[in-house]
A and B are shown apart, each in its own frame.
Chain A
Amino acid sequence: MTVNRRILVLSAVVGVAMSLGASGSALAQDSLNNVSYDPTRELYREYSDHFAKVWKEKTGRTVAISNSHGGSGAQVRSVNEGVPADVVTFPLEGDILGIQAAGLIEPGWQSEFPAQSSPYTSTIVFLVRAGNPKGIKDWDDLIRQDVQVITPNPKTSGGARWNYLAAWAYELERSGGDEQKARDFVAEIYKHVPVLDTGARGSTNTFVQNKVGDVLIAWENEALLSVKEFGAAEYEIVVPSVSILAEVKVAIVDKNVDANGKRELAHAFLEELYSPESQQIFARNFYRPLYPDQVDPEALKAFPELKLVKVGDVFGGWEKAQPTHFDEGGVFDQIYSND
């Protein structure tokens, strides 16, 4: 009967499709999920290829790396709610502490890798439109009447939290340590923000594609990448007088790797971040390498000298900064209405 045959053909097609799907995942012997933050899309694309080569040389096995990107605050919640992350590569310690609090990462992860598990750093600068039409030079220009500021949502984005703290540190220093003044200053900046995207990449797109706003408070790497991709005729970078040292953090998600027997692979993935080749990759992608001496000096010229404060010195570390400023009912909730 023709109908029978058609059904047979249909089920054959289905079968082929399903086995294709199965073989797709069976092809790679090892797999690793890296949950990361928003602007590292290009970085981890390159690094994953590099690591796959290293792993192949070392073990003879192929590895498929899945990278997931988004605002780090949102990513933390995804991991806590079940996105199967084997390693996390986040922009700040507070993010990983959030996963530790959910019991997925064991305390003491900071000492698992060199430099407090911080293989590279970055900082916060301003990206303005070519010619700097609004004449923005420093943080206090952001609260001028005619200036619109683009920055992501500190609730969902790690970079946005660095932006917030950098602004706070600037005003705190200028006012000689007046917390109230710093708070008012930061609150005033957010009055100039028309859109809080959920991640740094979303904000960059708002600024460069949608052409909204006069200044983007951006990751240094994101600003340099924008100038590289869109040209100096479109954008320029303004370096403020004070900024913050953004210490990114990496960690193994203990509970997940132990459940899947992936600890060795996860460890190798993060350890390789400290190799000279990887440090080169960071510099090429505009992240400040941990070991500048291992990197081509030419690549380091992109990074300007500026005064960088540390979260540990000004805010008492992330254990304190996160609940005070960003958790439910914290300072940010008090100064910004999102409803």
Chain B
Amino acid sequence: MTRIRFREPSIIPGFRLTFGFTILYLFLIVIVPIVGLYMKTFELDWPSFWRILTGSRFQAALKLSFGASLLAALFNVVIGLLIAWVIVRYRFFARRLVDAIIDLPFALPTAVAGIALTALYVPQGWIGRLFSPYGITIAYTPLGIWIALVFIGLPFVVRTVQPVLEDFNAEVEEAAATLGASRLTTIVRVILPALLPAILTGFSLAFARAVGEYGSVIFIAGNIPRQTEILPLLIVFRLEERDYAAASAIAAIMLTVSFLILLLVNLIQSWSNRRFGNV
């Protein structure tokens, strides 16, 4: 009778050490704190939880955070596709520089981005001053929040689409052209569908990042309840009031949404692996 093994046999040593350490570290740093958050939330009785959920301030922040993140992520899909296309398909001066600068939002600390964007978009700023004569204020309005979220989400779609586009088989395009498809038809009907899983992944990542973003937004957002207050800021506000129950309830809701997005990304990836091979 053979014993049922957890892992397939291997001559390579160190499984117990590395696996054990990985699980322990993962538990201590990530899992236990997150479980603690949910436990804290479950201490709330239903009426209190319901009051938090239906509070006008929470609902407004929820709509703003998700709405602005959605719009920013959608914009990032369009811009990201454009930039990925240009970098992969065209050869031009400073192409490498363009390629390198795209990751700036990953490398630049969010607080730095926050004060820089604010300085640019206030009515006296370099960009704000172009719009203020027309009565458009960007800083301290939802528009400013959107700008910050576009900034931090910009690299995601580019970086997910770029490798797929590079590996894209040119023969398919040639075949489409030979069969009489116009360039636009080829792009829309042949290339875009193949990019779709990558686009969806990039979109989800940008969206998830935007929903949770704090540092780059709070400087440029007006932080006015029910108008320009994002969810993470509402958590901070509840924390300053030492209303831990409310803070953790809001955090638990955000965390659950993050999990769902993560799940979605994984589903997209396994679906596209089945359909298109490895992406």
Task: Give A contacts to B, CB under 8 Å.
Answer: 70-71, 74, 77, 81, 153, 155-156, 194-198, 202, 206, 209-212, 338-339
Contacts and interface: CB of A to CB of B under 8 A. Distances in A.
Interface residues of B, number: 19
A155 B246 CA distance: 15
27 contacts: A71-B240, A74-B240, A74-B241, A81-B242, A153-B241, A156-B240, A194-B227, A198-B237, A198-B241, A202-B223, A206-B222, A206-B223, A209-B122, A209-B140, A210-B140, A210-B222, A210-B224, A211-B140, A212-B140, A212-B222, A212-B224, A339-B51, A339-B52, A339-B54, A339-B55, A339-B57, A339-B58
Nearest to B222: A210
A215 B210 CA distance: 34
B193 to A, nearest CB: 44
B56 A339 contact: yes
Q: 7 smallest A-B Cβ distances: which pairs?
A: A339-B55, A74-B240, A210-B140, A195-B224, A77-B242, A198-B240, A210-B222
B163 interface: no
A195 B122 CA distance: 20
B165 to A, nearest CB: 35
B interface, over-half SS: loop
B225 interface: yes
A195 B57 contact: no
Interface of B: 51-52, 54-58, 122, 139-140, 222-225, 227, 237, 240-242
A195 B223 contact: yes
Given A212-B140, A339-B51, A339-B56, A206 B241 contact: no
A153 B242 CA distance: 13
B225 A195 contact: yes
A197 B242 CA distance: 15
A202 B55 CA distance: 23
A95 to B, nearest CB: 14
A338 B58 CA distance: 10
Contacts of B242: 74, 77, 81
A281 to B, nearest CB: 29
Given A70-B240, A212-B222, 15 more contacts: A74-B241, A74-B242, A77-B242, A153-B241, A194-B227, A195-B223, A198-B237, A198-B240, A198-B241, A206-B224, A209-B122, A209-B140, A212-B140, A339-B55, A339-B57
